[in-house]
Structure 1
């Protein structure tokens, strides 16, 4: 393997150096901050613009729909050319367009399109995770994923906290404009990111793609991840903020909800990959994670104050934080290195089903039975995930 300067590299032997780790983390922080800065106010501002609860669900789901469509083709393309970094760099352009469109165009229907643009950017996370995990030895994949998810969650939580404060101080359009500015910085900074060139190979044919996707472990954890991803996109990135506004939350309190959720996701991601999986095994950790999320979701409709809602959401987010990096590490555990982007693309495309369908279900539940019904639905999904993990995950 070579870097952009043509020097030979052997990533994964000892893990990334400190300078390389800092560069990667900087790009990761900018990447997720440009996508999450506006999330505390996205659903509420759609509500203020006249969107129905069902349309809010569609706006939220468009993010996952685009990833469902793009992630497998992007993974195949990246594997074929043996490059990752250009996808990351040019993905920032879609983040800029999406944030500006949602912030400046008042028509709530148009938010579906521009939220979809941000889904294009999020699709590039395939490349970020493959590049980072490839810098670690094979037996430290869970640790690498834990670090990546922890940084992701910390970036998201600080972005949502700052976004809420910006909304209070400068108005609800400010987080969208600030996110676009971070996208510009990310575009510039990512151009200096070292790109590990891997051996070019032919794109996998349809039969090979099906063979990769039909690997029992990959398929199992991908379907579990689809259930898992429905949970935050129905709650903290969807209707938890709508419920909070009904309880009287201000912009800063909406940001605090995202901050608290992100803290617990980060704690779960790091402790799961670093401590719990080596001691308890993946099956136990995933089952615990789903169970925590389900119990907390059942409690949320009883919240009478924003800070009660925050406490329940934090427990829910701890559960999802424990589960995601564990599933991610399992998704590429049995896949050859030159097909890992394709496998990760398959994994992330399948879990995008949850990001897409979860908010649609939430919108239908909220429109038909009220916002509290969304959290009952989340509890049901979490229970299914816990049972399936206990039965089907064998590691």
Structure 2
């Protein structure tokens, strides 16, 4: 059953990413305003910020996660179709917002899987999920350019909807052991928010996602196009980033055991920030690939470590709420990355924007990681 669950996770992330490599370029067919493109892309993170925590609390209250996961997978399909067939940038913004709402599926899916493991194995479980999610993203992004050549931009959006619907159907066959219902409690939420070991990894995760969404999912594709890249090459660029992220996911726990969690999180921010600073300088498309390698490795190492650190000291009954809190907080980075980078790129230019974002990530990320609770 764990294998079938991972298939659902694979389909879910495929549905979210089949059209992502060229999404900024697709949006450029609706408007030439970089700030407006950044706003459209930021809706994905903004609505996750709004939805994920209430969804986690509601799932804990019901003692069930599966029904919520199925419903939200259906929303993934609806969001993809709305975005992919938008006649104007305003409808595209609405569609991306709906995809952001639907991405709340990740809250119950993470907890459904992690509840199959003991508290001591939660970091390993989140690593397995992160690897599966990254694999889904790699496959989806790798074929995006080919899909565009085969059927234009709409084809990838249509296949994304089909993938989400198949995931929802398969999830019907997976059993769930309900946990005792836990009524919503502001005191319980306040306790989680007041716990340094929960909130500091979540705030650092804001920075990892600000970096990733400002660069990889917003302006690196536009920069690559300026260097002469085709849709297929842009798909390869993002797939390389994610493939290296998968390697980082698989190495994160092993490296953390050997060198310490804190040191590895610090390294992840050095790679993220350094890759973005390098993109500001990159004179050719080949160098864009090199610095995307850095960004992918940094994100791949940091993401599962910070996610695991945020919940490994939380009781099972509160774990969905804690994961919802973690994901809601880091969704702020998924909003800030595209929005802030769009504003800076429109006001200055793309290279200067990369310099500002890169310095922010290096200074704040390494400084915050230095005070993490964790071995090493």
- TMscore range, shorter length: over 0.9
1:29 and 2:10 aligned: yes
Aligned twin of 2:23: 42
What does 1:283-322 align with in structure 2 at a 5 Å threshold?
A: 283-322=262-301
Asked if 1:75 is matched to 2:69, the reply is no
Within 2, Cα distance between the matches of 1:230 and 1:184?
29
Q: Report the Cα distance in structure 2 between the residues aligned to 1:24 and 1:306, rounded to whole angstroms.
A: 38
> Structure 2 unaligned runs (5+)?
none
8 A Cα contact 1:163 1:175, kept in partner: yes
* 1:162 equivalent in alignment to 2:143: yes
* Structure 1 segments of 4+ aligned residues over 3 angstroms from their partners: 392-395
Residue 5 of structure 1: aligned partner: none
Does the Cα contact within 8 Å between 2:202 and 2:310 map onto a contact in 1? yes
Structure 1 position 140, deviation (Å): 1.6
Query: Is 1:209 paired with 2:189?
Result: yes
TM-score (norm 2): 0.96
Q: Deviations along 1:124-164, whole A, 9 cap, x unmatched?
A: 21111111111122212111111110111111111011112
Number of the residue aligned with 2:86: 105
Greater shift, 25-34 or 366-375, is seen at 366-375
**Residue among 263, 274, 281 paired with 2:243:** 263
Q: 1:378 aligns with which of 347, 357, 363?
A: 357
1:1-395 equivalences in 2 (<5 Å)? 20-203=1-184, 205-273=185-253, 275-383=254-362, 384-395=364-375
> Matches of 2:360 and 2:245 in 1, distance apart?
18
Deviation at 1:369, TM superposition (A): 1.2
CA contact (8 A) 2:260 2:374 kept: no
Name the CA distance, whole Å, in 1 between partners of 2:261 and 2:250: 14
Matches of 1:244 and 1:196 in 2, distance apart? 47
CA contact (8 A) 1:64 1:353 kept: yes
Q: Report Cα offsets for 1:243-301 as digits up to 9, x if no partner.
A: 1111111111111011101101111111002x111122211110010011111111112
Quick check: 2:201–2:372 contact (8 Å CA) kept in 1? no
Distance in 2, matches of 1:341 and 1:392, equals 22
RMSD of aligned alpha carbons:
1.3
Task: Report if aligned partners of 1:220, 1:392 keep a CA contact under 8 Å in 2.
Answer: yes
How far is 1:348 from its partner?
0.6
1:76-104 CA-to-partner distances (Å, cap 9, x unmatched) read 11001111111111111211111111111
Cα distance in 1 between the residues matched to 2:123 and 2:256 = 8
Change in CA separation of 1:367 and 1:178 when aligned onto 2, cut-off 3 Å: same
- Distance in 2, Cα, partners of 1:394 & 1:146: 17
8 Å Cα contact 1:132/1:144 also seen in 2: yes
Q: Using the alignment, how far apart are the partners of 1:122 and 1:323 within structure 2?
A: 21
Q: Which runs of 5+ in 1 are unaligned?
A: 1-19
Kindly state the Cα deviation for residue 28 of structure 1 after the two structures are TM-superposed. 0.3
- Deviation sequence 1:189-210 (CA, Å, 0-9, x none): 222122221111222x212211
Partner of 1:391, secondary structure, is coil
Taking the aligned partners of 1:50 and 1:353, their CA distance within structure 2 comes to 25
- TM-score, normalised to structure 1's length? 0.92
Please state how far the C-alpha of 1:394 moved relative to its aligned partner.
4.2
Separation in structure 2 between the aligned mates of residue 392 and residue 93 of structure 1, nearest angstrom: 38
Distance change (3 Å), C-alpha of 1:142 and 1:394: closer
